[in-house]
Structure 1
Amino acid sequence: MGQGEVSARGSAMEGDCLSCMKYLMFIFNFFIFLGGSFLLSVGVWVLVDPMGFREIVAANPVLFTGVYVILAMGSMLFLLGFLGCCGAIRENKCLLLFFFMLILFIFLAELAAAILAFLFREHLTREYFSRELKRHYQGHNNTDVFTSTWNAIMTTFNCCGVSGPEDFEESLFRLLSPSKMVPEACCQRNSSPGDVSVEQCVSGSMVFRHNKGCYSAMVDYFEMYIYTAGALAIVVLTIELFAMVFAMCLFRGIQ
C-alpha cells in the first residue's frame, strides 16, 4: 500500500469524522435552541399574568427578578442554538468561536446563579415569609403592593397565611384590625362581603375559612414544575458542555 493511498484514506476518515462532528454539533444546538424557546415561553407566560402568578412572584423581589433572569437566559440560549446550528452547517469558524465564547459565558453565569441561590436560600424559607407577613400585611388595602399581593395569593390558592391562620397573631394586621382574627382573603370563595359567614370567618370560625397555609399550598401546586425545572436545568448544562466540546473540535478540524 503506497504512502499516497494511506494519506488519501486518512484524509477520507478525517473528512468523515468532521462530517459526523458537524451533524452532532447541529443536533446538540438544536436542543439548545428548543431549551431557549422553552425558557422564553415560561418567562412570557409569567409576564402575561396567568392566574395571578405575577402577583405571587412579586411578593419576593428575588423571585420576581428570577422571571427576568429566565427571560434573559432563554433569549441567550435561543441565540446560541441559532448560531451553533448555522456555524456547524456552514462550517464557519467565526460563528463557532463566537458560539463557544458565548456558551462559556452562559455556563459560568448559570454556575454563579446556582451559588447565589444557595447563599440566599434563607430568603425562600417558611420562616422568612411568615416574618415578612407579620410585619407588613395590612389586610384590606389595595394601594399597598405587599398586601394586595398576599390577598391575591390567598385567594388564588385557597389558603390563609404562610403556615396557617395563626400567622396573623401578634401581627401588623391585628394591630390595625383588632376585631378580626384573619383577613377576608382567608374566607372561602362562596362567601361574599356582608355575609354572616364572612363575619364568622374573620371572627375566627374555622368552618368558613381556609385553614391550610399558603407555603404548603404553593409547594404542592408547583412541586411537579420544580422537579421538571431541576431536571431540565441538568439536561441543559450537560448539553452545553457537550456543545462546547463539539464546537472546539469542529473549530480545530475546519481548514
Structure 2
Amino acid sequence: MCCSGFLKMMMFIFNGTIFLAGAAILGVGIWVKVDSNSLMGILDSVEELPSEVSQVANIAYLLIAVGAVLLVIGFLGCCGAIRESRCMLLLFFSIVLIIFLIEVAGAVVLLVFKDVAQDLFDSLETEVQKSLRAKFGKDESLTSLWNTTMEGFQCCGYKNYTDFNNSPFYVQNNGFYPSYCCNGTDVGGMCSGEAAEASAELGLVDGCFNKLLQLIEDNAVIVAAVALGIAALEIAAMVVSMVLYKQIGNKA
C-alpha cells in the first residue's frame, strides 16, 4: 500500500509537470499563430519559397498539437492513477511512448536541418530581397511587418541595408533607407546611404537574419535543457505507469 501510494504521488508529480508543459507549449503555439507581426510572418509575404523553408511557417500548428496532446496525456495519467484504471494507464503509456519517439525523430531531423540550414537561408535570401525591392514602401502589410521586425530586433533588411536598393521606399525617398539602417544618425525618420553603409561596416546595425541566428544560438542551451528535462519526465512517467499497471493487475 505504501509503495502504491508513493507511485500514485509520483504519477501526480510527473503528469502535473507534463500538463503544465503542455499548457505552456500550447500557449506559445497560439501566440505564434495569432502574432501576425512576428518574424515568422515574413515567410508568408515571400513568393517562391523553397519548400523546406516554407514548412517552418507551420511550426505554430506543431506547437499547438504537441501542447494539446501533452494536456491529454497529463489528464489520462492522473485519472488512471486515481481510478486505478489499467485501460487509462495503458493508453497513457502508449501515447507518451509515441510522443517520445516523435521527439527523438524530431531531434534527428533538427540535427540534419542544422547542416543544411545555411544553404536553405542563402536560397531564401534571393527571394526576400526580390520581395523587398518590389514591395517595401508600396505594400502596406509587408512594409509594416518589416518595420515591426526591424524595430524589435534592432536590425536592417534580411542581410543589410542594400536589400532595400531600388525598392519603392528607396525611390520615393530619393535614395534614403529606413531609419533602422542607421545607428542614431537618421534624418527625418530616414537613413542616408553613407550613414547606412557606415553603420553596417562598423557592425553597429546587423541584418535581421543574423540577429535571428544569434537569438537562436543564445537560447540553444535553454531549449536543449528543457527538451532533455521533458524527455526524462516522460521516461519516468512511462516506467511508473507500467509498474502501477502491473500492481493493479495483480490485485485483480
Q: Same fold (TM over 0.5)?
A: yes
Question: Given residue 228 of structure 1, which amino acid in structure 2 is its aligned partner?
Answer: I
Match of 1:133 in 2: 128
- Identity among equivalent positions (%) equals 31
- Whether 1:27 and 2:30 are equivalent positions in the alignment is no
Residues 132 and 167 of structure 2 are in contact (CA less than 8 Å); yes or no, is this contact kept in structure 1?
no
Give the structure-1-normalised TM-score. 0.73
| 1:88-167 equivalent positions in 2, closer than 5 A | 88-121=81-114, 122-123=116-117, 127-138=122-133, 139-142=136-139, 149-166=145-162
- Whether 1:41 and 2:24 are equivalent positions in the alignment is no
Give the structure-2-normalised TM-score. 0.74
Residues 23 and 89 of structure 1 are in contact (CA less than 8 Å); yes or no, is this contact kept in structure 2?
no
Question: Given residue 28 of structure 2, which amino acid in structure 1 is its aligned partner?
Answer: V
Cα gap change, 1:196 to 1:87, in 2 (>3 Å): closer
- Whether 1:79 and 2:72 are equivalent positions in the alignment is yes
Flag structure 2 segments of 5+ consecutive residues without an equivalent: 44-53
For residue 212 of structure 1, the aligned residue among 206, 210, 219 is 206
Separation in structure 2 between the aligned mates of residue 182 and residue 69 of structure 1, nearest angstrom = 41
Residues 26 and 89 of structure 1 are in contact (CA less than 8 Å); yes or no, is this contact kept in structure 2?
no
Larger radius of gyration: 1
Separation in structure 1 between the aligned mates of residue 3 and residue 111 of structure 2, nearest angstrom = 42
Residues 126 and 163 of structure 1 are in contact (CA less than 8 Å); yes or no, is this contact kept in structure 2?
no
Cα gap change, 1:41 to 1:214, in 2 (>3 Å): same
Once the two structures are superposed, residues 98-127 of structure 1 have per-residue CA deviations (whole angstroms, 9 ceiling, x without a partner) of: 101111111122222222223333346653
Flag structure 1 segments of 5+ consecutive residues without an equivalent: 1-14
Question: Given residue 157 of structure 2, which amino acid in structure 1 is its aligned partner?
Answer: G
Separation in structure 2 between the aligned mates of residue 96 and residue 182 of structure 1, nearest angstrom = 65
Separation in structure 1 between the aligned mates of residue 208 and residue 148 of structure 2, nearest angstrom = 11
How well do the aligned residues superpose, as a CA RMSD in angstroms?
3.3
Match of 1:58 in 2: 41
Aligned length: 228
Match of 2:46 in 1: none
Separation in structure 2 between the aligned mates of residue 21 and residue 94 of structure 1, nearest angstrom = 17
Cα gap change, 1:24 to 1:176, in 2 (>3 Å): closer
Classify the secondary structure of the residue corresponding to 2:8.
Answer: helix
Classify the secondary structure of the residue corresponding to 1:80.
Answer: helix
Once the two structures are superposed, residues 54-105 of structure 1 have per-residue CA deviations (whole angstroms, 9 ceiling, x without a partner) of: xx11334333211211111011111111110111122111110110111111
Which piece of structure 1 moves more, 33-42 or 117-126?
A: 117-126
Residues 157 and 217 of structure 1 are in contact (CA less than 8 Å); yes or no, is this contact kept in structure 2?
yes
Which piece of structure 1 moves more, 33-42 or 151-160?
A: 151-160
Residues 22 and 89 of structure 1 are in contact (CA less than 8 Å); yes or no, is this contact kept in structure 2?
yes
Match of 2:48 in 1: none
Separation in structure 1 between the aligned mates of residue 195 and residue 240 of structure 2, nearest angstrom = 64
- Whether 1:252 and 2:246 are equivalent positions in the alignment is yes
Once the two structures are superposed, residues 120-155 of structure 1 have per-residue CA deviations (whole angstroms, 9 ceiling, x without a partner) of: 33346653543433343223232675x664444223
